[in-house]
Amino acid sequence: MRLNSVIAALESGGHAFAAFAAPEPAVALDFATSDYDGLVFESEHKPWDATTLRDSLQYLLNRRRIFEADTLAPAPTPLIRIPVNGAEFGQWHAKQALDLGAYGIVWPHISTVEEARNAVAACRYPRLPDAKYHEPPGLRGDAPAAAARYWGVSTTEYYAKADVWPLDPDGEILVVIQIEDQLGIENLPAILEQVPGIGLILIGEGDLSQELGIPRQLDHPLLVEARRRIVRICHDHGVVVGHPHVTPTNVEQVLDEGYRFLMSAPVRGYPGLDLGRTLTGRA
């Protein structure tokens, strides 16, 4: 049985639903009973604090849900977007996040084959050149105890499962790379052809729109065409593509355009306040 609920949904040919969340225990607690397949703790634009992140991962677990589901798979499955851009060739953030028990890493601003290869390699343990699924060679350091405990498996089982999907069909770690500039779009075919182990592509609309000179104009024709190019390339290479801004008004279109990883912002409502303000003439 799959431990990574996002991989389980995608592997079955279905859609996976996720959201970004601040890496804070109180926020994690709010999501612990949600129906998302995955939750991406946002550490690119939020402070990187490994201790708080560790606590957030713990608060995301709901023992009653795990017991009733009769599976070790957490719901939602925690992924982490790390701070470093692809050009920085960072590895230690991914290493620490995985060692805490994360089931995947979201890499911002991947623009070249070399950056993508580093992203995948940082999420894998080293293997001998003649080993199965060797390429790209792993760079992750060995400290599995906390992650194995969080996953609920032995260290030996963790080693067997802690590889990237779909390169290793039994892997439970998801490598997500974000395409956020025109260089990344130009290099995307080569990235997908030359770097095995990329689980999905997530479009970075915010930064891409900045580069195009249309900041946050998500429906601007230039950004619409850029998204279409990314989706077309991903489909041509059989790779899942994700949309980061799914809303009730665009979800049907997003599905029609072929996205299978859908990220929606959770919305809080205040019906008592809203009705009270209306009844008292303060709406």
Q: What are 90-96's contacts with CB under 8 Å, separation 24+?
A: 90/122, 91/118, 91/122, 91/139, 91/140, 93/43, 93/48, 94/119, 94/122, 94/123, 94/140, 95/122, 95/140, 95/141, 96/50
The angle subtended at Cα 27 by Cα 40 and Cα 248, nearest 5°, is 65
What's the pTM? 0.95
**In which band, very low, low, confident or very high, does the pLDDT at 283 lie, cut at 50, 70 and 90?**
confident
pLDDT tens, position by position, 98-121: 999 999 999 999 999 999 999 999
Q: What residue has token string 């498996």? A: 153
Return d(Cα 155, Cα 265) in angstroms, integer: 35
- Provide the phi-psi class of 60: left if phi over 0, else alpha when psi is between -120 and 50, else beta: alpha
Report the pLDDT value the prediction gives residue 235, as an integer from 0 to 100.
98
Report the pLDDT value the prediction gives residue 130, as an integer from 0 to 100.
82
Q: What is the dihedral of CA 240, 245, 247, 249, to 10 degrees?
A: -90
Domain count for the chain: 1
**In which band, very low, low, confident or very high, does the pLDDT at 1 lie, cut at 50, 70 and 90?**
confident
pLDDT value at 147 more than 90:
yes
| Residues 225-235, mean pLDDT to the nearest whole number | 98
Report the pLDDT value the prediction gives residue 279, as an integer from 0 to 100.
95
Report the pLDDT value the prediction gives residue 229, as an integer from 0 to 100.
98
Report the pLDDT value the prediction gives residue 119, as an integer from 0 to 100.
98
pLDDT value at 252 more than 90:
yes
CATH number of 212's domain: 3.20.20.60
- Provide the phi-psi class of 13: left if phi over 0, else alpha when psi is between -120 and 50, else beta: left
Q: What residue has token string 């799914």? A: 246
Return d(Cα 165, Cα 240) in angstroms, integer: 12
For residues 197 and 124, is the Cβ–Cβ distance under 8 A?
Answer: yes
Report the pLDDT value the prediction gives residue 269, as an integer from 0 to 100.
86
**In which band, very low, low, confident or very high, does the pLDDT at 131 lie, cut at 50, 70 and 90?**
confident
Q: Mean of the per-residue pLDDT values for the chain?
A: 96
Return d(Cα 14, Cα 5) in angstroms, integer: 12
**In which band, very low, low, confident or very high, does the pLDDT at 218 lie, cut at 50, 70 and 90?**
very high
Structural domain range at position 64: 5-279
pLDDT tens, position by position, 46-101: 999 999 999 999 999 999 998 998 889 988 999 999 999 999 999 999 999 999 99
pLDDT tens, position by position, 162-205: 999 999 999 999 999 999 999 999 999 999 999 999 999 999 99
| Residues 208-212, mean pLDDT to the nearest whole number | 97
Residues ≥6 apart with Cβ < 8 Å to 31: 19, 21, 39, 60, 76, 266
Q: What residue has token string 């606590």? A: 55
